[in-house]
Chains A and B, each alone.
Chain A
């Protein structure tokens, strides 16, 4: 079993839709959780850290469930510019990424 697992998608959604990604992890001792965004052929960049109490940044909400060992990312009111691959990171381990395409 991989340490960090994500649904690879792809997710194809219309503009304005709400979309959610989940990521499960196997190491219960993990203490650092992140979501990164990666555009095609570019380097990953931090989207947001994930805190135990959950956190929100504009249209993006991240949550952590330690008991079930998963983190989630919710994107509301999707924009065309949200089209990218979203990478879940636990410690130094990356998930394989979930591809999102937002269509007009």
Chain B
């Protein structure tokens, strides 16, 4: 079984709809991340969480919210989807080793392809 899973894998929705993307991990990592990927722009950080009680905004958090329900689960919500949120969304995890200021290897889920019409 995959260590980092994302559901759904593909989703088509309409403008204005609320949508939730879910991420689960079995790696036992404390840190979890949400990124979006657009052609030519690479991965951009939306939100990250260093433990269950910690939520931090990334580069492009406007229009998104997150919930860290447990160590293993980190969900991303689009409260009112708009077409420019059409993208490939990745969840990732990493462990803590080295201290808060050190970032370790991230392990990615397979991605969720979201289309907002």
Chain A residues at the B interface, C-beta cutoff of 8 Å: 6, 8, 31-32, 34, 41-46, 49, 87, 89, 91-97
Contact = CB atoms under 8 A, between A and B. Distances in A.
Interface string B76-114: 000000000000001000000000011111101111000
A77 B28 CA distance: 38
Nearest to A8: B40
Bin chain B's interface residue count. Answer: 20 to 34
A48 to B, nearest CB: 10
A49 B108 CA distance: 16
Interface centre among B44, B105, B109 (most CB of A within 10 A): B105
Interface in B32-83: 33, 35, 40-45, 48, 58-59
A32 B95 CA distance: 13
B48 A92 contact: yes
Nearest to B101: A31
Contacts of B48: 92
For the complex of A and B, list the 10 residue pairs with the smallest distance between their C-beta atoms, beginning with the closest.
Answer: A96-B42, A43-B108, A32-B103, A94-B43, A94-B42, A46-B105, A91-B103, A97-B42, A44-B108, A92-B45
A87 B43 contact: yes
Judged by DSSP, the binding face of A is loop
A8 B109 CA distance: 24
A92 B58 contact: yes
Given A8-B40, A97-B42, A43 B111 contact: yes
Interface in B8-27: none
Contacts of B105: 34, 46, 49
5 contacts: A8-B40, A43-B108, A92-B58, A92-B103, A93-B45
